[in-house]
Structure 1
Amino acid sequence: MTSGRGRRRIVAVGIALVAAVSGTGVASAVEPLDAAAVAADGSHIDHVVQRDDRRSTVSVYSAAMNRIVQISVIRAADNSAPRPTLYLLNGAEDGLDQGGNEVSWETKTDVVDFLADQNVNVVNVLDGRYTYYTDWQSDDPMLGRNKWTTFLTQELPPLMNAALDASGRNAIVGVSMSATSALALAESAPGLYQGVGSFSGCAQTSTDPGRRYLQAVVLSGGGNPWNIWGPDDAPAWAANDPSTPANLEKLRGTDLYIAAGTDADSAAAGGGRIGASSTALESTVETCTRTLQSATEALDLPATFAYLPGGGHNWPSWQQDLHAAWPGIAQRLGR
């Protein structure tokens, strides 16, 4: 009798073979994603839907959250040798909504074409709206069980390394809500990510206005922000604040590209949040970003800070940020 994992593997390979025969799917230079990996804790790739020769939608079971997480995977164009992996996180309102509609790096930017010849695997996490991609202390009536730090630092990377025959060198990039998360995740697992891109975030989660910014984001998704790290004065807020000197020290040796817009023009801002809303949000995160820059300078921590003239809180600005950050990230990934 074929096991459940065996059946999933057969289905994944079968889809790839059918696509190849039909002329619409897997090219001979790119092998199908290997869906057979299972972690010691029971986390595993549940199933794979092949979308074209390099792109797949992958359903990953997280043991920590006891749920399936949807991710999108773009395989490196040439996987004849192990390649590095770029993890992309979306903003608070982005990813898959309740209707299954996708707003993500792939649908809102040129990331597919931009990285087409870079020989890097790309993993875009489509779930996790309003959660700040962290481990919550308590389950939430609306947002459920959230153990995203565990998922993104312990469960998912080994599965992706095995499924993609990856090199084990990684980078992570986040925007808006997840710009803060990208820094915090790298601090939670020093050395896991060789490069970090943090665009339009507010890293100071234990002090205002950053703390209120985080709470407002979670509340906008129907969640209770005090289920994350407890009441405002609980020590977990400072412990998880990526901007504290103790946590910033964990990023030493990591390529850091931290960006925000400046002098945003509300009439020209577009994509995602637009107009005056985009301008107001970016004004807040610019202040947060300059505060973070001062903190890194006080520690003599190498980091690149960029302020995009006219940049707003939107996907067109974040696309420009990724283009600017990529050379440094690529160098650290061994590209």
Structure 2
Amino acid sequence: MLDVRSMAVPAAMILSAMAGPAATTAPPWAPIPADDGARITATDQLDERTFDVTISSPSLPERSKVRVLVPKDWSRDTTRRWPVVYAYHGGRDTYVSWTRSTDIEEVSARYGVMVVMPESDDGAFTDWWNYGNGGPPKWETFHTTEVLQLMERNYRAGQDRAAMGISSGAYGAMAYAARHPGMFRYVASSSGILHLTRPGIPALTLFIQGFFTNSGDPFRVFGVPGLDEDNWKAHDPYVLAGNLKGTGLYVSSGTTGLPGPADHPEPGQEHSVQVQEVFCGTTSIDFLQRLRELNVPVTAHVYGDGWHNWETWELEMRRFWPLMMARLGVRPQ
């Protein structure tokens, strides 16, 4: 899915090293697998609240990681269930990005809520079309079935769920909510492509997938525009917007691609435009208009200037987090 990100994000994944040595072991209990056989094969406990979970999935060609933040009073040995936020990262990034690039640990610690951050690779948040043949990689199945079941069966995650995402992860969060009505009580999208079939967007998507990801053949992902139009539409939040009635929604994006209040451009970059944010803003405005036509309530923050980066997205997270917690029925502790 679309995501040409700002290079302001640190390239090194240093959080684990900073947190000290992790205890990489087979789980000390007998993990319950997902219905299709996806299973937890290892756990790395980074600190009292942070676990990195390794999953072997029939939906993916390789084992994948999920980072889990648990509440302060969390325990596996209880009948209690905790509300959970599923947080999706953008392209050319990994499951560590939310803890690396935001203060999600501090923010979530004030609430009795879990945060689950699954690996997404550059998988476009879909079960790949593969010219109509299906089969792996099946990222939507991994995220919306396997990860949910494994978290609920092994980490005491509840069914009061929210989803949030940035960039391609914002598309993923909104597409999953629209394709699986009722799965999430609240969805927050920051700088996402929310009108997948808007003229010009499929071509741009194919270009990004072909040249900036490891997809190989980009037509494998959603199919050939026009020829496989039904599959493109079946994954378009704009087309599926009516399915979001009853779900709390937050949509934000910049529109100009110019640096905003959170950005720190180098000399000579003061008027530098990040084109990807312009496309995100255009499709987000389309999506918001469609929601209004359908009388679907939404909180919107279309802010004009602001680059496609974590500095801006962290500010957005702080805006929507209290709204998301209220929808989950969670109060500050």
TM-score, normalization by structure 2: 0.80
1:227-285 CA distances to partner (integer Å, 9 max, x unpaired)?
A: 022211112111211111xx1111111111010024554386359xx976663222221
Say yes or no: does 1:258 pair with 2:257.
no
1:26-46 CA distances to partner (integer Å, 9 max, x unpaired)?
A: 9xxxxx996612122111111
SS at match of 2:198: coil
Change (3 A) 1:278 1:93: farther
Change (3 A) 1:91 1:58: same
1:151-188 CA distances to partner (integer Å, 9 max, x unpaired)?
A: 11111101101222122111111111121111111122
1:44-87 CA distances to partner (integer Å, 9 max, x unpaired)?
A: 11110111111011001222225311111111112264211111
Q: In the alignment, which residue of structure 1 is the partner of 2:185?
A: 194
Q: How does 1:233-252 map to 2 (within 5 A)?
A: 233=226, 234=228, 235-244=230-239, 247-252=240-245
Percent sequence identity is: 28
Q: In the alignment, which residue of structure 2 is the partner of 1:42?
A: 37
Q: How does 1:4-15 map to 2 (within 5 A)?
A: none
Query: 1:324, 1:35 → 2: CA distance?
Result: 39
Contact (CA 8 Å) 1:43, 1:61: kept in 2 or not?
yes
Bigger shift: 196-205 or 218-227? 218-227
Query: 1:24, 1:91 → 2: CA distance?
Result: 27
Deviation at 1:310?
A: 3.1
Query: 1:323, 1:73 → 2: CA distance?
Result: 20
Q: State the number of aligned residues.
A: 293
Say yes or no: does 1:231 pair with 2:224.
yes
Q: In the alignment, which residue of structure 2 is the partner of 1:71?
A: 66
Change (3 A) 1:330 1:84: same
Say yes or no: does 1:179 pair with 2:178.
no
Give 2:308's match in structure 1, choosing from 308, 313, 326: 313
Query: 1:222, 1:270 → 2: CA distance?
Result: 30
Say yes or no: does 1:60 pair with 2:51.
no
Contact (CA 8 Å) 2:260, 2:305: kept in 1 or not?
no
- The amino acid that maps onto 2:32 is A
Query: 1:334, 1:66 → 2: CA distance?
Result: 38
RCO comparison, higher one (Cα < 8 Å, 6+): 2
> Where is the helix percentage greater, Structure 1 or Structure 2?
1
Query: 2:273, 2:188 → 1: CA distance?
Result: 20
Q: In the alignment, which residue of structure 2 is the partner of 1:333?
A: 328
Query: 2:67, 2:105 → 1: CA distance?
Result: 11
- The amino acid that maps onto 1:107 is R
TM-score, normalization by structure 1: 0.80
Change (3 A) 1:276 1:119: farther
- Structure 1 unmatched ranges of 5 or more: 1-22, 27-31, 97-101
- The amino acid that maps onto 1:37 is I
Contact (CA 8 Å) 1:137, 1:230: kept in 2 or not?
yes
Deviation at 1:222?
A: 3.5
- The amino acid that maps onto 1:193 is F
SS at match of 1:168: strand
Q: In the alignment, which residue of structure 1 is the partner of 2:15?
A: none
Q: In the alignment, which residue of structure 2 is the partner of 1:163?
A: 154
Change (3 A) 1:204 1:33: farther
Contact (CA 8 Å) 2:177, 2:187: kept in 1 or not?
yes
Q: In the alignment, which residue of structure 2 is the partner of 1:13?
A: none
Query: 1:69, 1:331 → 2: CA distance?
Result: 31
Say yes or no: does 1:95 pair with 2:94.
yes
- Structure 2 unmatched ranges of 5 or more: 1-19
Query: 1:255, 1:319 → 2: CA distance?
Result: 20
Contact (CA 8 Å) 1:34, 1:162: kept in 2 or not?
no
